[in-house]
Structure 1
Amino acid sequence: MPSEIELLRALDDEPRTPSTVDVAQAISAGRRRRARRGAGYAGAASVTALAVAGASVAGGLVGGAPSPTTTAGAPRSTAPTPPKAPYTIPGTPGWSAPRATPPTDCTLHRLPTPDTAPMALVSGADPTGRYVVGRSYPRGGGYQAVIWHDGAARKVMLPGDLEESLQDVNSTGTAVGWSYVGGGEADTGPVPYVYRGGTVSALPGVRRGSAYAINDAGAIVGDDDTRRAVLVWPSATAKPFRLPMPAGASEVEAGDIDEDGTVVGTVDRDRAYVWFPDGTHRALPMPQVDGRPAAGARVFSIRNGWATGLAGASDGRGSKADPSASANPGTAARNQRTAVVRWHVRTGEVRIFDDLQPYPNTVNAQGWQIGTDTRKRAVLVTDAATVVLPALADGEPTGVSTIATTVSDDGRTVGGQSDDATGTIQAVVWRCR
């Protein structure tokens, strides 16, 4: 079982030195999301195992949260228009991926970095695996957004010089993400951007916010950094609209958007939620964890109706699991557990993955899951078997050092990161057959 120190490292979002794993970027996406300031390294233990008691699983960076004042140089804000039901979320109605044969073996390939940057990671990929996005850490310091196309790296020059990340990309090579823009801490904040045709543009309609996912129809999901609404941009040039929150909810986090326009997210940090293209919306069913209904659940990604996230068990007395106990399974009560969960949002099917560690994972169009097994190895879980993804460095890992982040619809390309022999994070892809 992972120790508290290992789990703290696993949610450290900032590789300050070699041997520091940037899991928050990796897991907060698989294709997605939520790299934010404010969570802090010391608070990682309370967010590791879902935070069913209210702490956020969203990975944060070391340092205080920026002030909610205006972002210098960002587009002026105009209030998104709430949709009227029934509304339509852009997508391809009735889309489904062709069935694929599960792979049985994968080989590891290190991705090149612009300017031979010493560290890099993968945060998203398109459904074919030809486009991969992430960021590198240049030798002189800072961050550099990167897009790889068929293995070749290209820098994406997002505005600002504080922090930046591309989070997702579709099969046309259009990528979305965010960058911190401002002249100082008092006026600094994330601005959502889109990269297409070699050009970077701010997404319209918000002053501050983040973009987390894009589908092949060009619809983008994100937020305005207030946690008061999930935003959908129908296209890269259209103003966003807000998805309706359930009655009584106080906050919501964006998750992902499917090809047909279905959107998933988390309400009040403990309720997995889905918005369908026809305007209807509802909570996802609460799974059973250790024989009892989970006390809370979060959802992070969706593909072809398959959604994946985390669910936390109650303590059997009607209260939610203690997230600090869940973050240290060696001392936690057996019935206070966080589990990886997969839903099918239309059929209601729910599955718990007992052999995966409780990190946010990603699913492809077949329902195949990537994650980290109990031996701290990156794995691809198919209908037929669990395929272990090799690491750059040989030997049994002493911590979570290899992380799968993305998986193509056919399961033949998996993206992620792996520590090299010096413990330095490298962006990698696995080619599977």
Structure 2
Amino acid sequence: MSRMVLRRFMARKAITATAVVAAVAATTALTAPVVSAAENAPEAAQACAMQILPIPEGYQSTRVTGMSNDGSVIAYRAVSPDPEGPRPKQFLYSDGEVSEVPMLRDYTTIQDVNAAGVGVGGGWISPKYVPYVWRDGQMSELPNEEGGWAYAINAKGDIVGSLDRDGTSIPVRWPADGTGPVDLALPEGKERGMATGIGNDGTIVGEVMVERDNSGNPKPYMWRADGSGTYLAMPEGADLADVAVGVTDIKGDWASGWLVAPGVGYGGVRWNLAKGTAEVVDLDDWVAVSANGTVASHLRDSPIAAYQSGKTIVELPGLLDPADNTSKDNVVAISADASLLAGDVFIGGYDAEEQPLTNAVTWTCG
């Protein structure tokens, strides 16, 4: 049960095994200069100092779940590797202080947080998934119908996510003034979707797809602050009809995510929303983006966490030698100015559910 619920938290980056295999077979090798974070390389290649976030007594494995755009508040989760041990806990870290967030159930998660410490997320609260908000020391269920999930919040307090309606996922916004939820219009021919990110100017990004389409082909979409919408641009060599794309982050004029496309392969992607352009980057999976277009995640086919500024890739330090890392280190979030990154590093070993044991960390760069 727990793994199913945690997978819902990761659902927006899920793709079918068939699509991945096809993409790997079609991947074109991409190269970019790679430097160690310890090296004194030019421009983006600055030394990055890693710090482990406090681990509560009785716990061993911690994982970052979200961070405010300015990096001042980090949400992370602690899980005991012992199935008979203490229950999972959620924390907020700010100014060197850790505060526990009482959760509604064991497997609920704060997925995003703003600088005011307002967190949003969701979880399985039988008989449905429930979207919620943590505000002023209180956890509250967001208005919903048959359930849903809250994915992101901006500085103003506007929240976006999805609602379950008649078995279909509908993209929505919960305005900061407490009204809503407000449905986001779906493009013609699409029957479902989810809103996964919202900028401080009200621009929303997410995915749309046809209901009952199990091909794993979500399409990247943007809703402007005035309510109008458009598909996001495709990188060179990719056709919108053929891709599977997940949009995971937005800051300023930049958005990021992952892409699978015949002839292009798979990996991270970043969009310049102002210019209407898209680029496949040399990182993998759930890519985070800063306001200047720096992206962060981990290297393709590698356990090493990294960020990419322009064409330069900087490897980030971990706890294990990469040769001994049987899982992966990963950046989950990056601040708007790209100076602070937050994520997880593998500490070795797995829990009873075969999940890797990790420590939640930050990397301060520059």
TM-score normalised to the size of structure 2? 0.80
| Deviation of the 1:47 alpha carbon | 6.9
Letter in 1 for 2:142: L
Q: Answer whether contact 1:50 1:298 (CA < 8 A) is retained.
A: no
Aligned to 2:266: 338
Alignment of 1:272-291 (within 5 A): 272-289=220-237
Provide Cα deviations, 1:102-128, integer angstroms capped at 9, x if missing partner.
Answer: 461111111113334111100110012
Q: Distance in 2 between matches of 1:154 and 1:236?
A: 26
**Distance change (3 Å), C-alpha of 1:14 and 1:235:** same
Q: Answer whether contact 2:120 2:134 (CA < 8 A) is retained.
A: yes
| Deviation of the 1:160 alpha carbon | 2.5
Aligned to 1:371: 297
Aligned to 2:283: 356
Q: How many positions carry a matched residue from both structures?
A: 325
* Greater CA drift, 118-127 or 342-351: 342-351
Report the structure, 1 or 2, having the larger strand content: 2
Determine if the alignment matches structure 1 residue 248 to structure 2 residue 189: yes
Alignment of 1:200-349 (within 5 A): 200-226=139-165, 227-235=168-176, 237-268=178-209, 269-289=217-237, 293=239, 295-296=242-243, 297-314=245-262, 335=263, 337-349=265-277
**Distance change (3 Å), C-alpha of 1:336 and 1:260:** closer
Runs of 4+ that moved beyond 4 A: 22-25, 46-51
Q: Answer whether contact 2:290 2:334 (CA < 8 A) is retained.
A: yes
Of residues 334, 337, 347 in structure 2, which corresponds to 1:420? 347
Aligned to 1:126: 68
* Greater CA drift, 403-412 or 215-224: 403-412
Aligned to 2:110: 166
Q: Answer whether contact 2:333 2:342 (CA < 8 A) is retained.
A: yes
| Deviation of the 1:429 alpha carbon | 0.9
Determine if the alignment matches structure 1 residue 431 to structure 2 residue 359: no
Highest RCO, 1 vs 2 (Cα 8 Å, sep ≥ 6): 1
Q: Answer whether contact 2:51 2:363 (CA < 8 A) is retained.
A: yes
Aligned to 1:95: none
Of residues 115, 120, 123 in structure 2, which corresponds to 1:176? 120
Q: Distance in 2 between matches of 1:345 and 1:338?
A: 21
| Deviation of the 1:288 alpha carbon | 2.1
Alignment of 1:135-154 (within 5 A): 135-138=77-80, 140=85, 142-154=87-99
Q: Answer whether contact 2:162 2:195 (CA < 8 A) is retained.
A: yes
**Distance change (3 Å), C-alpha of 1:24 and 1:390:** farther
5+ residue gaps in structure 1? 1-12, 16-21, 52-100, 183-187, 315-334
Aligned to 1:156: 101
Determine helix, strand or coil for the equivalent of 1:396: helix
Letter in 2 for 1:299: V
Determine helix, strand or coil for the equivalent of 1:113: coil
Aligned to 1:72: none
Of residues 333, 350, 355 in structure 2, which corresponds to 1:406? 333
Q: Distance in 2 between matches of 1:207 and 1:143?
A: 26
Q: Distance in 2 between matches of 1:118 and 1:426?
A: 8
Determine helix, strand or coil for the equivalent of 2:255: strand
Q: Distance in 1 between matches of 2:47 and 2:63?
A: 22
Determine helix, strand or coil for the equivalent of 1:393: coil
Provide Cα deviations, 1:316-340, integer angstroms capped at 9, x if missing partner.
Answer: xxxxxxxxxxxxxxxxxxx472232
Q: CA RMSD in A?
A: 2.9
Q: Answer whether contact 1:356 1:373 (CA < 8 A) is retained.
A: yes
Determine helix, strand or coil for the equivalent of 2:57: helix
**Distance change (3 Å), C-alpha of 1:160 and 1:302:** same
Of residues 313, 320, 340 in structure 2, which corresponds to 1:386? 313
| Deviation of the 1:219 alpha carbon | 0.2
Q: Answer whether contact 1:420 1:426 (CA < 8 A) is retained.
A: yes
Provide Cα deviations, 1:377-397, integer angstroms capped at 9, x if missing partner.
Answer: 110111373221111123425
Q: Answer whether contact 1:158 1:164 (CA < 8 A) is retained.
A: yes
| Deviation of the 1:300 alpha carbon | 2.0
Letter in 1 for 2:297: G
**Distance change (3 Å), C-alpha of 1:134 and 1:46:** farther
**Distance change (3 Å), C-alpha of 1:195 and 1:48:** farther
**Distance change (3 Å), C-alpha of 1:371 and 1:49:** farther
**Distance change (3 Å), C-alpha of 1:395 and 1:103:** closer
Q: Distance in 2 between matches of 1:178 and 1:362?
A: 20
Letter in 1 for 2:178: T
Letter in 1 for 2:160: V
**Distance change (3 Å), C-alpha of 1:232 and 1:303:** same
Percent identity for Structure 1 against Structure 2: 29
Provide Cα deviations, 1:162-208, integer angstroms capped at 9, x if missing partner.
Answer: x11000000111111113213xxxxx222111112222111124451
Letter in 2 for 1:169: V
| Deviation of the 1:48 alpha carbon | 5.5
Q: Distance in 1 between matches of 2:76 and 2:138?
A: 17
**Distance change (3 Å), C-alpha of 1:382 and 1:23:** farther
| Deviation of the 1:254 alpha carbon | 2.2
Q: Distance in 2 between matches of 1:250 and 1:50?
A: 26
